[in-house]
Structure 1
Amino acid sequence: MPSPCPGNPLSGSPFSRREFLNVGLLAGLGLTLPEFLRMEAQGAQKFYETKEGQAKAVIQIFLPGGLAQHESFDPKPFAPPEYRGPFGSIKTALTGVHFGEKLPHLAKIADKITVINSMSHGEAAHERGTHNMFTGYRPSPALEYPSIGSVVSHELGPQNNLPPYVCVPNVPNTFANSGYLSSAHGPFALGSNPSDKNFKVRDLNLPNGVDDARFQRRKSMLETVDHHFRTLENADSLESMDAFYQHAYRLISSQQAREAFDLNKEPDKLRDTYGRHQAGQRMILSRRLVEAGVRFVSLTVGSWDHHDNLKQGIEKNLPAVDQAVAALINDLEQRGMLDSTLVILSTEFGRTPKTNKTGGRDHWPRVFSTMMAGGGVKKGMIYGKSDALGGEPEEDKVSVEDFAKTIYHQLGITADKELMAPGERPIEIVDGGRVLKEILG
């Protein structure tokens, strides 16, 4: 085996610092943390001062597949049966406002939330609609846009030794990633379901056979190797590599970080209130994470692409989400966290106003519903209106850009700010749109 080159081991040696760690110590430490920890080349390490907004954190609840507006927040009880659908409607805490009958828990707390019944965009394909809702941009073949969570990570950074952006349980789609931003701002994913009996977050526990004392010895070994290579190298990228390892050490060794992900710290009664199902346990974990210091939590739950047998699909999926979202909002309020935590319930598009021959509804981006609560958003408001059949916006049409810009505004992030894309190309965080000041408190 050739000996290391004394000139520039990063470029010429088979035992460069990076390669040495990848082959040996890195694997031994169990440092398989996601890409957000890798502070990439040329001084990517940067510390950000938190900008004060109404919200200090966001919980994004995304329902993949396309939640039907008629069966949720925008029922049409007086429409013909083929438009009205298989369910009735129920009264809410707001006079004259009805929700679909499968939302009894949210109906009771309608005076704590804002519902937007006039969301609209032009993308009827799942991937393109999802891209819209995760990035605030229409898809482009020329550029990969960052998710809202990644922009929040970039602008606000980490706190309390916790990742700024977490996906529960996994990164749900390619549009939830960092796009043209450094992968340092991509999401940390749990790797398993919080509702599993033996739920454990990957990467936060030392591998078998490595106790705390051994971990500290290996850290010391790595620091020795660092010092050796630092005497041989002058590359600026070394400092950004250090950021990755230091962040990894802090996360693995932080008792606060471990406890933030530990659902066993929650009382059984409260876990029951959320529901012992995927929706409930994902949402109670999300509350724990923002309470500990995570800036942006994105969770997905259910399957909502109900082209066939809409009735069965809604009965299977919606009651758990209804229970869990209502419990989350009540829990945040009781802890004094609702005003500083923006809760978003969204989906990629709605469903056709008329049911099809197989008792389902097809893709329909022209109008659909989203929900927001906390984080400076008004309580007890229905914003926007669809027409009598639930097929087109009739009042106060809301665009994807409006929606994203409002989220950033509530976090104290200026959505008109330009970030640098590849090729030194400045790109606005959100191009166009307006802050929906009408829904803000």
Structure 2
Amino acid sequence: MPRRNSFMRCFGNPLSRRGFLAAGTMGGLGLSLPELLMRQAMAEQKNYDFVEAKAKSVIHIFLPGGLAQQESFDPKPYSPLEYRGELKTIKTNTGEQFCETVPQLAQRADKFSIIRSMTHGEAAHERGVHNMFTGYKPSPALQYPSFGAVVSHEYGPRNNLPPYVCIPNVPNEFAGTGYLPSSYGGFALGSDPAQDNFQVRDLNLAGGVDEARFARRKSALELVNQSFVGNTQADNVNAMNTFYQRAYDLLDTPAAKEAFDMSKEDAAVRDRYGRNQAGQRMLMARRLVEAGTRLVTLTYGSWDMHQGITGSIKNQMPALDQALAALIDDLSERGLLDETLVMVSSEFGRTPKINADAGRDHWPKVFSVMLAGGGIKGGMIHGASDSTAAEPEDSPVSPADLAATMYRLMGIVSDKELMAPGDRPIEIVDGGKLIEPLMV
């Protein structure tokens, strides 16, 4: 991007002028709010392709480590014990069978769909995560952008809120911007909404800075900027000045700040989700998409269960079951489910056979993904695994297929070309097919 590089050569690092934002604390994983807004304001303008959008927002719930399909949404009750595991099944309100670990979701199966035939070839955590955050196989030649970065690139902010937010922090290196400018990175909250003293960085004045002092700093910066802008004809200087104004506007905008304020939520609603990481992170995600954030990524738990999978699943799944059920109900009651795509994924599944340590190992050949709302039909099971959950038996779905479908529901043409370094055109998704049976 020649204009931005020219600006950097002429004026150095723009962040050197961020001293005024001592009012908002910097640091932590992900972009700070000032960096995010400045780089967005300096980004090149884009020409948009258009398709009808069913989903205005996405909540991507990622379960790191590899959720076992057998102990969640694809049980195998008729296979031998060493394959099916120790847990029983439960009938859903649509007549399907889930594992007994998700009783609340089983009673809401008519509101979401399950893909039982997700598949790829990457058994290492990092490579599997890359697939499920980008829709691409890992490449040594190029780092691909995450779903959130692409959505941020294509649409930008809404209602003065960051378009891409990570709860509580950017979950992994593949949730970043890849070859896109870092302006499109996720805004990380910096702390966990489940904490009693939860606060979002950059949205509160630093210690010793009251409203009057904040206003004086703002006025002083405006005077400096008037002189600075008046002595140069560079368009990007005006753009950077706009960035600072937007950063101040966000700090001054009660509605935007309130979206991050969990104390504004009714105590009964917080209890409904669960006073734990799963519940409060999902509640925060609902608050953000309701206020205008386009894509929220959150993580919960650790699902890499090589040992004692029965006990581990029983320990972690109840909070997930409760929170997900509450999220679906809450979105539906607020009239938001039809315009919010909820996607629950993991980097891969677990081995068909229980190992010698009573656990399951990595297994990318087949696993399950849950989709709800945002143009997805409810009560559907798409694809199937074989009798031991070892391979897809019907309608295999690749990460590229899942990504292409998500983008289409967001109104983004998935084969649109974005520019990588060296002016190389790269498709947002390479060859993904829409999962049309699931789409409204």
Whether the aligned pair in 1 keeps the contact of 2:70 and 2:389 (CA below 8 Å) is: yes
**In structure 1, C-alpha distance between the alignment counterparts of 2:415 and 2:67, rounded to whole Å:** 30
Offset of residue 317 of structure 1: 1.0
Higher mean alpha-carbon deviation, 165-174 vs 203-212, is at 203-212
Q: TM-score, normalised by structure 1?
A: 0.92
For residues 381-433 of structure 1, give each alpha carbon's deviation from its aligned partner in whole angstroms, at most 9, with x where no partner exists.
Answer: 00000000000000000011110000000011110111111111111110001
Q: Which residue of 2 aligns with 1:333?
A: 332
Offset of residue 183 of structure 1: 1.0
Q: Which residue of 1 aligns with 2:343?
A: 344
Task: Give SS of 1:423's match.
Answer: coil
**In structure 2, C-alpha distance between the alignment counterparts of 1:395 and 1:10, rounded to whole Å:** 53
Q: Which residue of 1 aligns with 2:402?
A: 403
Task: Give SS of 1:152's match.
Answer: helix
Whether the aligned pair in 2 keeps the contact of 1:418 and 1:426 (CA below 8 Å) is: yes
From 17, 22, 25, the equivalent of 1:27 is 22
Whether the aligned pair in 2 keeps the contact of 1:9 and 1:17 (CA below 8 Å) is: no
Offset of residue 213 of structure 1: 2.7
**In structure 2, C-alpha distance between the alignment counterparts of 1:183 and 1:365, rounded to whole Å:** 30
Offset of residue 47 of structure 1: 10
Cα distance, 1:73–1:230 mapped onto 2, change above 3 Å:
same
**In structure 1, C-alpha distance between the alignment counterparts of 2:73 and 2:104, rounded to whole Å:** 12
**In structure 2, C-alpha distance between the alignment counterparts of 1:396 and 1:322, rounded to whole Å:** 27
Offset of residue 17 of structure 1: 8.6
Offset of residue 28 of structure 1: 5.4
Cα distance, 1:151–1:170 mapped onto 2, change above 3 Å:
same
**In structure 1, C-alpha distance between the alignment counterparts of 2:324 and 2:366, rounded to whole Å:** 22
Structure 2 unaligned spans of 5+: 1-5
Aligned ranges for residues 132-147 of structure 1 at < 5 Å? 132-147=131-146
Whether the aligned pair in 1 keeps the contact of 2:158 and 2:292 (CA below 8 Å) is: yes
Matched, 1:75 2:75: yes
Offset of residue 300 of structure 1: 0.2
Cα distance, 1:332–1:40 mapped onto 2, change above 3 Å:
closer
Task: Give SS of 1:118's match.
Answer: strand
Whether the aligned pair in 2 keeps the contact of 1:39 and 1:184 (CA below 8 Å) is: yes
Task: Give SS of 2:113's match.
Answer: strand
Whether the aligned pair in 2 keeps the contact of 1:286 and 1:297 (CA below 8 Å) is: yes
Whether the aligned pair in 2 keeps the contact of 1:50 and 1:156 (CA below 8 Å) is: no
Whether the aligned pair in 2 keeps the contact of 1:38 and 1:183 (CA below 8 Å) is: no
Q: Which residue of 2 aligns with 1:124?
A: 123
Task: Give SS of 2:418's match.
Answer: strand
For residues 115-163 of structure 1, give each alpha carbon's deviation from its aligned partner in whole angstroms, at most 9, with x where no partner exists.
Answer: 0000000000000000000011111111111100111111111111100
Offset of residue 211 of structure 1: 2.2
For residues 37-61 of structure 1, give each alpha carbon's deviation from its aligned partner in whole angstroms, at most 9, with x where no partner exists.
Answer: 2327965367989975111000000
Aligned ranges for residues 222-241 of structure 1 at < 5 Å? 222-241=221-240
Task: Give SS of 1:324's match.
Answer: helix
Query: Which amino acid in structure 2 is aligned with residue 25 of structure 1?
Result: F
Whether the aligned pair in 1 keeps the contact of 2:41 and 2:243 (CA below 8 Å) is: no
**In structure 2, C-alpha distance between the alignment counterparts of 1:92 and 1:427, rounded to whole Å:** 42
For residues 287-325 of structure 1, give each alpha carbon's deviation from its aligned partner in whole angstroms, at most 9, with x where no partner exists.
Answer: 010000000010000000001111121111111101100
Q: Which residue of 2 aligns with 1:220?
A: 219
Whether the aligned pair in 2 keeps the contact of 1:43 and 1:237 (CA below 8 Å) is: no
Task: Give SS of 1:39's match.
Answer: helix
Q: Which residue of 2 aligns with 1:36?
A: 36
Higher mean alpha-carbon deviation, 389-398 vs 207-216, is at 207-216
Whether the aligned pair in 2 keeps the contact of 1:275 and 1:323 (CA below 8 Å) is: yes
Query: Which amino acid in structure 2 is aligned with residue 422 of structure 1?
Result: P
Q: TM-score, normalised by structure 2?
A: 0.93
Aligned ranges for residues 11-160 of structure 1 at < 5 Å? 18=14, 21-22=17-18, 24-27=19-22, 30=25, 33-34=32-33, 35-39=35-39, 44=44, 52-95=52-95, 97-160=96-159
Q: Which residue of 2 aligns with 1:4?
A: none
Whether the aligned pair in 1 keeps the contact of 2:42 and 2:240 (CA below 8 Å) is: no
**In structure 1, C-alpha distance between the alignment counterparts of 2:8 and 2:119, rounded to whole Å:** 51
Task: Give SS of 2:169's match.
Answer: coil
Whether the aligned pair in 1 keeps the contact of 2:279 and 2:322 (CA below 8 Å) is: yes
**In structure 2, C-alpha distance between the alignment counterparts of 1:301 and 1:151, rounded to whole Å:** 23
Q: Which residue of 1 aligns with 2:3?
A: none
Task: Give SS of 2:319's match.
Answer: helix
**In structure 2, C-alpha distance between the alignment counterparts of 1:17 and 1:262, rounded to whole Å:** 32
**In structure 2, C-alpha distance between the alignment counterparts of 1:202 and 1:45, rounded to whole Å:** 29
For residues 192-231 of structure 1, give each alpha carbon's deviation from its aligned partner in whole angstroms, at most 9, with x where no partner exists.
Answer: 1111011111111111222223222211211221222224
Task: Give SS of 1:38's match.
Answer: helix
Structure 1 unaligned spans of 5+: 1-7
Whether the aligned pair in 2 keeps the contact of 1:102 and 1:315 (CA below 8 Å) is: yes
**In structure 2, C-alpha distance between the alignment counterparts of 1:177 and 1:39, rounded to whole Å:** 15
Task: Give SS of 2:39's match.
Answer: coil
Higher mean alpha-carbon deviation, 47-56 vs 109-118, is at 47-56
Aligned Cα root-mean-square deviation (Å)? 2.2
**In structure 2, C-alpha distance between the alignment counterparts of 1:312 and 1:160, rounded to whole Å:** 44
**In structure 2, C-alpha distance between the alignment counterparts of 1:196 and 1:128, rounded to whole Å:** 31
Matched, 1:269 2:268: yes
Offset of residue 436 of structure 1: 0.8
Whether the aligned pair in 2 keeps the contact of 1:194 and 1:282 (CA below 8 Å) is: yes
**In structure 1, C-alpha distance between the alignment counterparts of 2:173 and 2:58, rounded to whole Å:** 20
Query: Which amino acid in structure 1 is aligned with residue 428 of structure 2?
Result: I
For residues 48-100 of structure 1, give each alpha carbon's deviation from its aligned partner in whole angstroms, at most 9, with x where no partner exists.
Answer: 899751110000000000000000000000100100112111111112x1101
Matched, 1:200 2:163: no
Q: Which residue of 2 aligns with 1:413?
A: 412
